[in-house]
Amino acid sequence: MPKATWNKAVIAESAVFETVENNIYFPPGAIRRENFRPSDTHTVCPWKGTASYYDVVVDGQVNKDAAWYYPDPKPAAKNIKDHIAFWKGVKVKK
C-alpha cells in the first residue's frame, strides 16, 4: 500500500491511488489533513491543467509547496481530480 512520509511522519496512505508520470496521486481522504496547509502557489501543466499546492507541516517544520493537486483538471487528467502528489523530499513508497 503506498505511503507518503516526511520528517518521520506518515502524511498519506492508501491502497487506492492513481499513477501519472511516475507520480503516485493519493485520493483526498488518504492524507492526514493536520499535516497540510494551503499555499498560494499555482503552476500550469499543458495537459493536466492548473495545479494548486499545499505546504507539508510536521512537528512545526514546514516543507513549502511539497504537495500538489489539480482541483479542476483538464479532461485528460480527470482521474486525478483533487488527488495529492508529492516532491521536495517527501518519500513515497509502494
Q: Which domains does the chain have, with CATH numbers?
A: 3-93 (2.170.150.40)
The three cell numbers of residue 10 are 506518515
pTM: 0.96
> pLDDT tens-digit profile of 57-79?
999 999 999 999 999 999 999 99
Q: How confident is the model at residue 34 (pLDDT cuts 50, 70, 90)?
A: very high
Report residue 46 CA to chain centroid gap.
19
DSSP string, 33-50: GGGEEEEEEEEEETTTEE
Residue 94 has pLDDT above 90, yes or no: no
